[in-house]
Chains A and B, each alone.
Chain A
Amino acid sequence: MTKSRDLPGLKSTLSRRSVLVGIAGALAMPALLPSRAFAATPGSNPGKYKIDLGGYTGPELTGSPITLKIMRQEFPPEVNAVLQAQYDAFSAAYPNITIQEERVPYGDLPTKVQVYVTSGSAPDIMMGRNDFASAYAAGQLTLPLQQFLSADFIDDVYAPLRESATIDGNLVCLPWETNPVYMSFNRDIFDKFGIKTPPEVGEFDGGWTVEEYMQCFDDVTKALRAAGDTQTFALAASGYGNGGPGSNYTQLESIWVRMMGDPNAAKDSSVYNTFMGVSEDGFTASGYVNTPEAAAGLANYQAVFKNGYTPTGVVPDQFRGGAAAVSFSGTGTVKRFLKTGQPFNFGMSPAPKGTIAYTTTVADSPTIYSGTPYPAETAALLAFICNDANRFAFHDAWGSMPVRKTLVDAIPEYASDQRLLLGTNVADHAFGPPKSVGWFDYFSAINPAVKDIALGTDPQTRLNDVATQIDGLLAKYK
């Protein structure tokens, strides 16, 4: 990791105004965040600017009128309001800087980023993802962020996330929230039929095996149907990506595949290749994504659709609506239920285990477009949004887990509530996606293949087809 370097023009003046602003801020913070212990975290304005610019250590911002553009995913209104308040606060401190925002559906973000980059005129900040970091770096699409942020701030990010966003020592995107994937279950449904609930443990690997989950899904489905309930399902439809089967391989469906692999197996073994998902150079999928173990993993995935354990289409908010017994979810579900009042009695348990306990570490990660005419101001705005107070406000509203350890440590529930503690352990032991500069192509090709398998296509045949397709797609990056 490259340490922060001094940039020309960087001022560290301590004006009377900045002191007053600092005192006011210090007085206001406990009122804003009454439940949290306060210590200077790496995100608390090391650069001593007139507002808390988080970990930003770059030059003082311009006084000329400029407009910064942000493209991000659509959030619920209460989260949008939090972000808008942050833009307003930034613009109040820097009235010469106007912020324009564009919101797009979450599943369309990668394509939208691609289209904008192609146009040569992209928004200054674009919401990316850490699984595309290799492509951002290889294409020089984003600015390395370590030149603007303090090393302490960057080191505070959970190691698996930080490493997945760092290519050749350059932090090419900034993970800003994570939703480690594990299972939530509706205890009321289990209790109604006297079915044993999944284990509520704190350890990431203390959960059921995939076979135990399949048995559970079967028991729940039979009980529901016997009671004449055809609208409730054992497993909720995916709410990741654009939802439904084949929704988001990186974040969800790869769990079914890569849990059947093993990173500690012999490097020439099929089990090892299953875990890797792509060759070491990142250019070959054949022999990695279509191994017998991968096909077996997706046969399990197919079974949940074939046996009617989960719907074959998109059902928004199925778990939250009480129409599913179990759901792949994470800390976001817990936080939202705790905040808004839980609609039913619920519990959390680790994701199904295969050969290994596997789950993913994917984080939405804002990027700064390499073509931005205002790199320092853009970095400052991003860092401002990521300062401690703003991150707390965002996570309070949205429920996702912070990516910086000091922020998680400052939220007592993460240490005391098993449902959240499990989330931190999962985040600590999660795995990044296969690293390939062509991950976007890989991702775009495998999602429909996974959907086809979910809907009945033979897993091995479809995986062989998609492996060949991905090989062809990755060839252009060599």
Chain B
Amino acid sequence: MKFSSWTVNPTRRGELAIGPLMILPAALGLCIFQFWPLGVAILNSFRAFNPFNHRPNGWVGFGNYQAVLADPSFQSSFWVSLIYMALMMVVIIPSALGLAILLDKRMPGTALARGAILGALASSEAVAALIWNAIYQPNSGLLDVIFQTFGLPSQPFLTDGHLAVVCIVIMTAWKDIGLPMLIFLGALQAIPPHLFEAASMDGANRWNKFWRITLPLLRPSLVLGLFMTTIAAARLFTPIQILTAGGPNGQTSNIAYFSYAQAFLFNSPGPAAASVVMMLLMLVVITVIQARALRSRSGI
């Protein structure tokens, strides 16, 4: 690149000076709250710590990584993390799309439904988890009472590993579905109506219009929704902590919860940092795969 030939439009010289200043606060925020902790986590993953006061007391190379990879709890947490991601994508994306399409129709009660969905989104994650914890309680929970009313047996919502994973996903979907739904709704409303009119004139039915017009034009929003859901699923922590504390038998513990347990329950900051770094790597790999798979078709 020849910088000598690089010229600046004289009318935009001011922007060149002010531009960096404008992004400085955001850049500083990113450095302080994102990159610096990430750097510390990476450093910590190679350190040994005093288990009493958690202060670093030496370097262990890849010892923490070896310990974590050999830990059956971590192996289980890795697979559970993937299950959460898959389930949340399967549950949230189609549901959010369906809701967005329904809300876009402006049917009676649309405003109420939109308010309810956004209300759940605005609620505290901990409060939502506590509400659902009460709903799932055996013997006294709302679901159990409904089951009893219909003569059905009590269900071990949070005490059976497989069912507990599903319950956590349902609670999270209830809480988080609002954001992707809003994104899809915005994208739906941005589709020019004349495309549908032209398709109708060509004899396209509803399904053809959805498949040939709506879905392709929604693809950038779908990609965004998919990324957001993937990241949210990987970071899932509060519902796990409140509903199951990782149990039973560690069957609901993902890598985020494993890291928390290592750091705060088992006085092991080194392995905790190593597992966090591995979670990050896993997330990078998955999002790169997603991006490549979707980019080839969407061109984004």
A-side residues, CB < 8 A to B, are 111, 114-115, 117-118, 120, 135, 138-141, 230-231, 311-315, 438, 440-441, 444-445, 448, 451-452, 455-457, 462, 469, 472-473, 476-477
Q: Number of B residues whose C-beta is below 8 Å from A?
A: 29
Give B101 Cβ to nearest chain A Cβ, in Å.
38
Of the candidates A311, A444, A451, the one whose C-beta lies within 8 Å of that of B247 is: A451
CA distance A472 to B159 in the complex (A): 26
Instruction: Please list 25 pairs of residues, one from A and one from B, whose beta carbons are closer than 8 Å in the complex, sorted by A's number.
Output: A111-B264, A115-B264, A117-B52, A117-B53, A117-B54, A135-B52, A138-B52, A140-B52, A312-B139, A312-B159, A313-B138, A313-B141, A440-B267, A441-B266, A444-B261, A444-B265, A444-B266, A445-B266, A448-B245, A448-B250, A469-B73, A472-B71, A473-B267, A473-B268, A476-B51
Interface of B (DSSP majority class):
loop
- List residues of chain B with CB within 8 A of the CB of A472: 71
- List residues of chain B with CB within 8 A of the CB of A438: 51, 267
- List residues of chain A with CB within 8 A of the CB of B264: 111, 114-115
Give A323 Cβ to nearest chain B Cβ, in Å.
10
Contacting pair B156 A455 (CB below 8 A): yes
- Report the 4 A-B pairs with minimum CB-CB distance, sorted nearest first: A139-B52, A444-B265, A118-B54, A455-B159
Contacting pair B249 A452 (CB below 8 A): yes
Contacting pair A114 B138 (CB below 8 A): no
Contacting pair B249 A462 (CB below 8 A): yes
Is B7's CB within 8 Å of the partner chain A?
no
B-side residues, CB < 8 A to A, are 50-54, 71, 73, 137-141, 148, 156, 158-159, 245-250, 261, 264-269
Please give me the residue from chain B that is nearest to A311 by CB atom.
Answer: B139
- List residues of chain A with CB within 8 A of the CB of B158: 313
Given known contacts A448-B246, A452-B248, A141 and B53 CB-to-CB distance under 8 angstroms: yes
CA distance A231 to B248 in the complex (A): 25
Please give me the residue from chain A that is nearest to B154 by CB atom.
Answer: A312
Q: Which of B140, B248, B261 has the most CB of A within 10 A?
A: B248
Contacting pair A452 B266 (CB below 8 A): no
Of the candidates B53, B137, B265, the one whose C-beta lies within 8 Å of that of A111 is: B265
- List residues of chain B with CB within 8 A of the CB of A469: 73
CA distance A115 to B263 in the complex (A): 9
CA distance A117 to B139 in the complex (A): 40
Give A259 Cβ to nearest chain B Cβ, in Å.
25
Contacting pair B261 A477 (CB below 8 A): no
Given known contacts A139-B52, A448-B246, A477-B51, A311 and B266 CB-to-CB distance under 8 angstroms: no
Contacting pair A441 B265 (CB below 8 A): yes
Contacting pair A312 B249 (CB below 8 A): no
Give B24 Cβ to nearest chain A Cβ, in Å.
29
CA distance A445 to B51 in the complex (A): 16
- List residues of chain A with CB within 8 A of the CB of B247: 448, 451-452
Please give me the residue from chain B that is nearest to A445 by CB atom.
Answer: B266
- List residues of chain A with CB within 8 A of the CB of B138: 311-313
Give B141 Cβ to nearest chain A Cβ, in Å.
8
- List residues of chain B with CB within 8 A of the CB of A312: 138-139, 156, 159
CA distance A304 to B247 in the complex (A): 20
- List residues of chain B with CB within 8 A of the CB of A120: 53
- List residues of chain A with CB within 8 A of the CB of B148: 230
Contacting pair B248 A476 (CB below 8 A): no
- List residues of chain B with CB within 8 A of the CB of A455: 156, 159, 248
CA distance A114 to B51 in the complex (A): 10
Please give me the residue from chain A that is nearest to B249 by CB atom.
Answer: A452
Give B164 Cβ to nearest chain A Cβ, in Å.
10
Give B133 Cβ to nearest chain A Cβ, in Å.
8
Contacting pair B139 A313 (CB below 8 A): yes
- List residues of chain B with CB within 8 A of the CB of A456: 159, 248
Contacting pair A313 B140 (CB below 8 A): yes
- List residues of chain A with CB within 8 A of the CB of B137: 313-314
Given known contacts A312-B139, A451-B247, A476 and B53 CB-to-CB distance under 8 angstroms: no
Q: Which of B246, B264, B266 has the most CB of A within 10 A?
A: B266
CA distance A95 to B139 in the complex (A): 53
- List residues of chain B with CB within 8 A of the CB of A230: 139, 148
